[in-house]
Each structure stands twice: as C-alpha cells, then as structure tokens.
Structure 1
Amino acid sequence: MFTPDNLLWLKECVAIFFMTFLHEDAAIIASAFATVHEDLPVPLAYVSVYLGIVVGDILIYGLGHFAQKNAWLRSKIIGPKVERLKAWLQTHLVRVLVLCRITPGLLFPTFVACGWFRIPFLRFATVSILAGAVYSSIVLTIAILFGDLVLNQFGYWAWGALALIIVGFALRNSFKSRWSKKTEKAMGDLPPSFISVFKKYMPDLKHKFHGMPTLDDLKKTVMKAEHIPNSILYIPVGLYYIFLGLKYRSFTLPSASNPNIETGGFMGESKSSVLNMVGPEQQTWIAEFATMHRNGVPGEKDLENAMTLMKEKNLAFPVVAKPDIGWNGYGVRLIEDSNHLLQYISEFPHDENIILQKPVPYDGEAGVFYVRIPGEEKGRIHSVTLRYFPFVTGDGKSTLRELIENDERTKLRSGYYLGGKPEHVGFNETDLEQIPSEGELIRLSFIGSLRVGGLYRNASHLITPELTERFDMIARSMPEFYFGRFDIRFESIDKLMKGEGFNIIEINGAGAEAIQAWDPNSGLMTLYREFFKAYRMLFRIGHLNRARGFKPMPFHDFIKAIRHQNRLIGQYPPAG
C-alpha cells in the first residue's frame, strides 16, 4: 500500500525525471526544493535526477543515430555545429563529453554528433553514465545545502528567483548562434589567427599599405556616425526607402535595377553568378575563383570535391574561402591548407555554395560605384572609395593588445581582434602579447569592411576617363547591369587611374552601399545625403526598367531572399 507521502514522492520523482529532458539544471533545482521543503528523501531525489540525465543522454544519441536514416530529422538537427565536432570526438571523446556536461548550450549538438558519427555506444554510454553520476551528485548536493542553509531563510520567493536565473541563462544560450571562443579553445584547435597565415604567405606586405595614399590628411579616424548603433542610424534610411517605395508604387522596385540578378543584387543573390555574368573578353579582370557545393555529407567528401575543383581551376593554397551568398565580410577567411579548408567546410551550412578564390597580392582595395541609366549607351563611375584594412602601428614598447585597446579606431572594434566575437577569428594570446617594433604596421584582419574596423576614404578625385572607360566596358559586358559596386584589389593608384593593375574580387548589385559616405572627414548629414542620393538613383533605374517590361520581384519572394541571407549569416564559419 502506498501512503499519501509515498504517492506524493512518486509524483515528484516522475516530474523531476521528465523535467531533466527539458533542462537538467532546472530539474536539479526542483529536486533540491522538493528535498528541503517537501521532505523528499535525498536518495530518491538523486536517483530521479540521475536516471533522467542518463536516459536523456541516450535519447539524444539515438536522435543522431536515427537521423542517418530519416531525411526530415537530419535536416532539423544536423548542421554546422554537429559537423565541426567530428575531429574533436575522434581524438578527445572523454574530454568533450565531460566539458559539454558543464557548458551551457553544448550538450545537445555534442550528443547528437556522437550518434550521427557512430561513436561506439558502449564508449558513449560509459562516459555519459560516469559523468552524469559525478555531475548530478555534486550539483544536487550543493543545491540542497545551499537551499537548506541560505535560501530557506528567505522563503519561497528565493527559489523562484533562482529558477528565473536558471531559465534566463538557458534562454540566453539558446539564442546564441555560435559557441564562445573560450569553449572552442578548450575543446580543440581554433582556426589559425589571421596574422599567422598572413605573415607566412605575404610577408612583404606587413610594413605598409603598398600603393595606397597616406592617411596624414585625416582630421580624425572615427566618424561620429560610427558611434551610433545601426538600429538607430539606419532609421532615416529605412523611412526614405519607404517613401520611395510609395512614390514609385513598389517596395521591391530595386529588384528591377539589374533584372538578370536575383533581387537585383539587393540581398540574397549568388556572388559567383554575378561574377560569371561578366563577358568572356572582360573575365581577365576577375580574380580567379571556383564555386563548390556544400553537400549534406561529412566534410571529407566535400573536401575531396574542393581539392579536385581547385586543381581544375589552377588554384593553390592559400586560398580565400567565402560564402556565395555573402554580405559585409561574414564568413570570409584566408585558408592556409587542406586541414583548415576541411574545418571551414565542416562548419559551413549544408546545401549552400562556397567560393574559393585566388588571393590578390595587393594591399590596395577600393570600391568602384558604377551607374548606367537604362537607354543610355555609356555609364559612369559615381564614386571611388579606398578601403584601408584595420591596423595599428608599433611603438617598440606596447604589446599588440595594448596598441589595439589604445587606438581611437581599433578600440571600437576590439572584440573582433581580441577573440570576443564568435563570428570572427581573433588573435591568440601569443600574438597579442608580442611587442611590434617601432613603426611596424600590423594588419588586424584579412577583410577590410567597416564592420570589423576598416577605414573608408572618399577618393572620387581619382576618377579618370580611362578608369571610367574600363569599368564601363566591364559593366556593359554584363547583360542588363545598371547599378552596383565593383570591389577590387589594385597594385597602385597610378595604375588604377589608368584603368590597369587591378582585380575584381566581388560585384555588388542593388544592395551596394554608398560607402564613400563613411569617410571620417565627412559629417552625419553628408552620410545621409549620399545614402539618399544612391537610393534615388536605384529607384529611378528600377522605374525605367519596369517601363521597359522588367517586372519587380514579388514582395513575398523579395522578403524570402532577404530572410534566407540573414539566416545564413548567423551560420557561417568565423571570418578572418
């Protein structure tokens, strides 16, 4: 016969058991509460928590195993986080399983990966059972003692506060798209820092920006607008876009600006497809590249495909890897060898394309903004913007970390260099403690976008008839291309002004920003004026093309493409 107390304890044990499936720490807090306030026997609390943890671990392992046979389940739970664990599980299984037990947000993808990669069940179960026993015993004991000695003095509300803290941490980690650098470093090797690869393959570029004008005329290195959060800064731009959409009776009219590019190149377009639009006679200006598809298979198979493709295209390491659907430098990294390429591929979203591009060995980088009005024979260069990679200059006394933290510009984006941003590969501790020699220029990132601290200078005074003719020929070789920005690397200013000595690394369409407006010598009103001018040209071109019979993209498809790109950005491997 069950007594009322026995029935109550049984209900509590069952509830605790199933609660572990939702959140182990919450179940431990609940069991401690039941022990302190409901007189649940401590052994029953331990057994309920422990059995729930072990059964939950086995079920998660089973999900990964079953995903090999079920396409729907595979699409839901097998992604870059799971793929990137393979090497760690094969070499550090015990270490990884123990670490994920105490690291929020890491347990589920790790145990799924164990099933997916067919880690022997007996090995997995043994480690899981032992780790679960130690973890549950220690944490539950602490919770019971803490509750009995402290929380009980404050009443029930203290338990509620503790539960809210636990839930808060759970939600915080559930919204993170990537693991922390600290966690990754504890589990295995991180991608090499940019500086280690850069110094090895391009040592002659480290002391100065060859071919670029000096920055001596800069009155300041940081624009006031850079201190304003983007969510606030772009409100007037968004309102102006809405105004133009109402004026021209279409919010997707920019998609008609370049009719042969998806969304007109506003967002979500294939970068490789745009590069391939350049006519055969003008392809010599495009940096050599190949495009590979990331299949939903273990990374080694895709690596084989990548190596074969590189051989066919005469590409060799180092190579630049970047997403085919990209924006603002996310996921762009200089890859040193096949091992690092495998790591990059394994972290990349399934069923998406990767561009492998030959690095252009020039320091000079610029954005050439091109516009051609439909019906006109020739186009023009609207602006030229020089892009300086983020850098610091050594003084012979300060460490690299100190230089970064004390520089007016780099300290704004210091998280990217010091390892505080999961979407970017920062420097390791050894690099940060080095003392650069006096006058030595240290480049802080392979990419030079404003997002990671790049500095933009309006260089429209460099526009010459020769430069205009060169880019007009390139643009007119692309069917129905009217509005966009050519991102280039160039050898020298003199050659660039002659329309020579450069390679195109990317072509942006309707989404091309008027980046010359970000010159630190410009003011906030200048920035908005340039943005508004670019949008007026964009909508006008779309309007003229609509009159020629090109229909704007349906609103639903337009938004779908934008959402697809935004979703992918959070899944890309860290940039370099």
Structure 2
Amino acid sequence: MTSVNPGMKYGGFFDYSKYDVLKQIPQKYVPKSDFYFDTPSVDEVKASMKSLGLEYPIILKPNEGERGSGVEKIQSDIDLKEYLKPQPKEIILQEFIDTNDEYGVMYVRYPDQLKGKITSIVYKGELYVVGDGVSNLLQLFEGHQRAFLYLDFLKEKYDDRLHEVVDDGEVFMLSKMGNHSRGAIFNDANYLISQLDTKVFDEISSHIDGFYFGRYDLKAKDEQALINGDFKVMELNGVNSEPAHIYDPENSLFAAYKDLFAHWWRIYKIGKQNRKQGHSDTPFPVLLQSLMNR
C-alpha cells in the first residue's frame, strides 16, 4: 500500500507532511501559508500574517493531522492564544478561503500512463442550525439531527452564547471546515466528473514527486469556478484517501461497497506497478511501530 505514492512518507497513509506536499503545488492553486516546526509565539504568527498580507480569520492546523483533527478557524488574538496554549508542534498557518463550497476530488494515475482520471467528487456541506426566534443555541444544537452528535464540542466552543436566541429563519453557521470530525455533510457530486478538465489535475500532480493516488481537498467559489480550474487546494491526502461521495446519505450501502472495492483495486494495481519499478512497501512492523509511537 505505501508504495502507491513513493514520494510521500508511508505513501500518504499517515505521518506525512502536508506542508511539504503543498509546497510542490503551483502557487496559484494553493492558499498563502507558513509553517512552524516549533510552537510559535503570538507575535511570530502575526508577523507571518503581515508578511503574507493576511488578516483574521486565518486557519491553523497540524502538519500531520488527519480527518480535520486540530484544524481551527482563528478569528482574533484571543483565539490565537488559546490555540497556542497547549504548545502544538509542526503547525501550518493558512489563508482562510471565504467560500462555502468545498470539494474532495479523487485523482488516480497509473505509473505506466501519462494521463490520470478523476474517480470521485464529493461536495462538503457545512454544519449549521436555523433559528426559530424562540429556541436558544443549546436547544437548536440538541434538536439538530447532526449537531447533537458534536454537542460536547459545540457546548465548549459556544459556551458564552448557548443561551442566545437566534432570530426566526437566521442561519447560524457552526463549521467552516469540511470534515467529518466537525460534522460536515458529504454529498455525492460525481455528476461533475465529466465536466472537470482532468488535464488541470494532471498538470498539478506532475509537480508532486512520486504521487499517483489521492484526494485533493479544495475550495472554489461555486461549481463553475471548480469546472474552470479556479480553486485553491487546502490539502492533498495520499493513500489514506477515501472516495467520500459514498457517505452521501442518499447512496446505498451496496453502491458504497462497490465503489470502495473499485477504489482498493486501483490502489493494488498502482502499488503493483510501482513495486515492479523498484519501489517497496514499508514493512508492517515498521508501520505498526510508527502507529504505536504517535
């Protein structure tokens, strides 16, 4: 499995540097960003923001985080101090791209072929509640079919606003990060596959050393912008990627397993070709030890 992307640590299965990957992508496709190996001070982050021409909000996230863990939208000096309080190491400062449209685009290229293909597109809907003019935030959280699953997190995040009553019809956004750990809703957008220009993703992928398989998580103003190649890559996941359209609640379990088996077959075929070219998989004991040491 780890031989699928020989240019990424463990093939992008885990513990790979997201920042190292982003640095290889052409600048026009990535948000402005900076990296800190050790915990930066508030002044250091603000100096980076100034040099990059950024103002709040910004995104801070771990370089090796998975499934959105540790990703935070920072809107003030207070938020920044809170994020840095546990002294996190290896964090990425990233420009906040202000759009609600976030997509996950699965890209596959076999080593013996020059052109790749897109095998899955997911639209990541944001988590929000709608006010009724009577219920406070806590009541809206408790009564929402998805928000209540993240009640502890939401109660902590909005601790000083839980008794606030939201106006009737007002949308209160709870999440601006499209990941399962924060309650994002994944929607099948495979109808866009035929409309996307695969050459754009071939061109981007050609800049990334030893990359053949993964999911581009990106933001675009709207579907047309995505189709036009006008988007920003927030991160690129390796062999740990999933065809996230399968999590659309409208899709059947049978269809999900069918797509997963096709997904795993592609991983097998790419790995087989790369092993023939001299790349090797990381021995299982090494992987296991790395997992245990995390």
TM-score (norm 2): 0.92
Name the CA distance, whole Å, in 2 between partners of 1:353 and 1:519.
33
Deviations 1:153-191 (A, max 9, x none): xxxxxxxxxxxxxxxxxxxxxxxxxxxxxxxxxxxxxxx
Residue 371 of structure 1 aligns with an amino acid whose one-letter code is V
Cα offset, 1:348, TM superposition? 3.2
Name the CA distance, whole Å, in 1 between partners of 2:289 and 2:53.
36
Deviations 1:179-221 (A, max 9, x none): xxxxxxxxxxxxxxxxxxxxxxxxxxxxxxxxxxxxxxxxxxx
Residue 388 of structure 1 aligns with an amino acid whose one-letter code is G
Matched, 1:311 2:50: yes
Cα offset, 1:399, TM superposition? 1.8
Aligned counterpart, 1:391? 128
Higher helix share: 1
Name the CA distance, whole Å, in 2 between partners of 1:267 and 1:551.
17
Aligned counterpart, 2:85? 346
Matched, 1:271 2:271: no
Whether contact under 8 Å (2:121, 2:243) holds in the other structure is: no
Deviations 1:35-89 (A, max 9, x none): xxxxxxxxxxxxxxxxxxxxxxxxxxxxxxxxxxxxxxxxxxxxxxxxxxxxxxx
Aligned counterpart, 1:515? 244
Cα offset, 1:364, TM superposition? 0.5
Cα offset, 1:308, TM superposition? 3.6
Aligned counterpart, 1:261? 8
Name the CA distance, whole Å, in 1 between partners of 2:60 and 2:228.
30
| 1:273 match: secondary structure | helix
Aligned counterpart, 1:122? none
Residue 247 of structure 2 aligns with an amino acid whose one-letter code is W
| 1:294 match: secondary structure | coil
RMSD across aligned C-alpha pairs, in angstroms? 1.9
Q: Count the aligned residue pairs.
A: 294
Cα offset, 1:310, TM superposition? 3.4
Deviations 1:258-312 (A, max 9, x none): 101001101111110111122xxx22111111001225xxx6xx33443343333
Whether contact under 8 Å (1:464, 1:497) holds in the other structure is: no
Cα offset, 1:397, TM superposition? 2.3
Cα offset, 1:406, TM superposition? 1.5
Select 1:446's aligned residue among 172, 176, 194. 176
Whether contact under 8 Å (2:49, 2:55) holds in the other structure is: yes
With over 3 angstroms needed to count, the CA separation of the structure-2 counterparts of 1:347 and 1:544, relative to structure 1, is same
Name the CA distance, whole Å, in 2 between partners of 1:523 and 1:562.
32
Name the CA distance, whole Å, in 1 between partners of 2:148 and 2:128.
11
Residue 380 of structure 1 aligns with an amino acid whose one-letter code is K
Aligned counterpart, 1:562? 291
Between structure 1 and structure 2, the one with the greater Rg is 1
| 2:153 match: secondary structure | helix
Deviations 1:225-283 (A, max 9, x none): xxxxxxxxxxxxxxxxxxxxxxxxxxxxx2111101001101111110111122xxx22
Aligned counterpart, 2:93? 356
Residue 28 of structure 2 aligns with an amino acid whose one-letter code is T
Residue 277 of structure 1 aligns with an amino acid whose one-letter code is Q
With over 3 angstroms needed to count, the CA separation of the structure-2 counterparts of 1:258 and 1:526, relative to structure 1, is same
Matched, 1:531 2:260: yes
Aligned counterpart, 1:427? 158
With over 3 angstroms needed to count, the CA separation of the structure-2 counterparts of 1:311 and 1:470, relative to structure 1, is same
Please list, as runs of the form range in 1=range in 2, the aligned pairs for 1:328-347 lying within 5 A after superposition.
328-347=67-86
Deviations 1:73-114 (A, max 9, x none): xxxxxxxxxxxxxxxxxxxxxxxxxxxxxxxxxxxxxxxxxx
Select 1:492's aligned residue among 222, 225, 233. 222
Residue 27 of structure 2 aligns with an amino acid whose one-letter code is Q
With over 3 angstroms needed to count, the CA separation of the structure-2 counterparts of 1:557 and 1:304, relative to structure 1, is farther
Name the CA distance, whole Å, in 1 between partners of 2:137 and 2:272.
51
Name the CA distance, whole Å, in 1 between partners of 2:260 and 2:141.
30
Name the CA distance, whole Å, in 2 between partners of 1:405 and 1:337.
28
With over 3 angstroms needed to count, the CA separation of the structure-2 counterparts of 1:314 and 1:558, relative to structure 1, is farther
Name the CA distance, whole Å, in 2 between partners of 1:415 and 1:390.
15
Name the CA distance, whole Å, in 2 between partners of 1:306 and 1:462.
38
Residue 451 of structure 1 aligns with an amino acid whose one-letter code is S
Aligned counterpart, 2:139? 402
Aligned counterpart, 1:39? none
Cα offset, 1:407, TM superposition? 2.1
Deviations 1:339-388 (A, max 9, x none): 43233223134xx3110001001111110111111110110111110001
* Runs of 4 or more above 6 Å deviation: none
Name the CA distance, whole Å, in 2 between partners of 1:503 and 1:562.
31
Residue 124 of structure 2 aligns with an amino acid whose one-letter code is R
Name the CA distance, whole Å, in 2 between partners of 1:284 and 1:527.
34
Name the CA distance, whole Å, in 1 between partners of 2:117 and 2:129.
35
Name the CA distance, whole Å, in 2 between partners of 1:403 and 1:332.
24
Residue 440 of structure 1 aligns with an amino acid whose one-letter code is E
Unaligned runs of 5+ in 2: none
| 1:456 match: secondary structure | strand
Whether contact under 8 Å (1:405, 1:411) holds in the other structure is: yes
Higher strand share: 2
Whether contact under 8 Å (1:394, 1:436) holds in the other structure is: yes
Cα offset, 1:455, TM superposition? 0.5
Whether contact under 8 Å (1:395, 1:439) holds in the other structure is: yes
Which protein, 1 or 2, shows the higher relative CO under an 8 Å CA cutoff with sep ≥ 6? 2
Residue 395 of structure 1 aligns with an amino acid whose one-letter code is D
With over 3 angstroms needed to count, the CA separation of the structure-2 counterparts of 1:342 and 1:407, relative to structure 1, is closer
Whether contact under 8 Å (1:363, 1:491) holds in the other structure is: yes
Aligned counterpart, 1:553? 282
